[in-house]
A and B are shown apart, each in its own frame.
Chain A
């Protein structure tokens, strides 16, 4: 009854009560539904059928590459399923937990989430990819986040950035230019507010949105004088409470106290924030670069949009940006088609495929230092990455999967007024200490 042609994994029943019952119930089902499974049984003569589970956001990027791979490797087919991140995590955790991971699946770099390299590799769920050609193109400093310190375990198309998506038309109407320092940014917000435009749309009802502004501020504030903060925290030498995270939160809340967000950011969803920006009711929103095309789509040509780094530092020279390695793909060591699965990752890693993938998902490929080679909206970010003025997304260096959700929760509590910065930092420290 197996639908996917997987020759070496024939149905095997273990002896015991459960299979016996299964046999009995199967008879019931088979008698009753007699042959409702038209594709049951064999199929796939000779070739390998790979399974791949991907992130819905990457469908447009991955589909053409899969088609090209199948064309180049006749006999090998890839069964893809996509799901939004939440559902993806559930499905993959259940599948891996049961020892039935898809051959190729989406994974996140570093640590800090349930599907991150550190968490998965400690359970032995990732096949080493160290000797593949593309590994060389990943800068040494970032490579550790794609592996366990020894091996490289996942492929990633490159680096994503968080910045300010802004409405160019509103900026020129109001005579505002792209700000490069925190005071300039506040002045721009003040001018927009005075003109009756909401300076910033913020959809904090959607949990993952809550973290973005902190992630954009922290590199210039928390990490400015303390570049090793993440390591120092891991070694127990620093905490959220006694580090630059306090100032980071203060700047985030300052924007709120000055009334630069629309009313009730806590009750506004991510989608509603996009609509606010697309309609021109708000002039800016702080988001990951991959969201820009969605804003432009929703605006349907009524305005032009661009991006610039959130200028969270007091001087332009001190500005650092958040640049996180994008989610990518890993191979399950239990795969029955290990060689084909690794061949697919190798294929993804070919420069032209990685470039196509990166472009389709608004990602900056590793090692790019000429801004003109990437999409226009990403160009302002390239120098920061090339000059090493970037900090990985903070959760990628947190020791467990509890700190990030705790961060979502405390930001919402701060906006609801049910905690203060001291309380928020204490909660984060408590989550950080969990099982680390």
Chain B
């Protein structure tokens, strides 16, 4: 069959005109952004010639400034995990606004099953439950968290699939419900002092390892399984998907469940990393997760995007954040500039899409 690779029915297929993968554009953008910060470091007078990327002070064995790179990937890893799920929701033609507050609610609940009984020989001052919930094996809070995520996700998905209310409204409602749950759980008190096993989950570079593992898993799901193919099909043309015999409703519930379980897992890693859970945590995470996906080329109209794109989008997000700090941009301007960058990413992508469409 190899001789058919050049088109069938006698039509020539020009390999040089093969579609340029969208992910390459994002990668190039990432490299350019790093280069711009590197250049700014040399140009701006108050920077004393510091390097953004390279190790100029000989603090590390490698040529790179490892500390900065580490901070960048650690910063994006947890929101990145949420973004992996949000990517799937957006590809299926939906949106999930509830992931940030879900992170907070899950962290609060999970943490109360992960506490130690004694802190420095004294009873845990932040104890939520009695002794029965103390010093449980680490698998217990993890399962509680994933179940809670699956539960919230199935409500999101069922609302959207069966009552046909727009995903924006359904998940906006869930946004408030989850924030409410997070505050009600301990009446606003933080939950602290996890077991050693639980603290390990988010210690050191563990968040990055989880992010990479889950990204690989999600990539395989979307690219190589029936689940992924149907997710793209539903986002691309829901009527066609339904007419093809795909159970669109059940599939949507599944997509939202997976997204919420990923957000719940992010909550586990986050609370473990911080060694505490607070009802206010995860602020703007839902928006940052959407932003990472969108920067990574996921189309809000559905049907288009990839996990590789989202991972690169997360890296762009992290590099820009770190770069702003590096050039000592005022924190207030940083948030504004972030908004500006998200808008430009979408405008650039649409412009590129239109150009590609008019060329073919």
Real binding pair = no
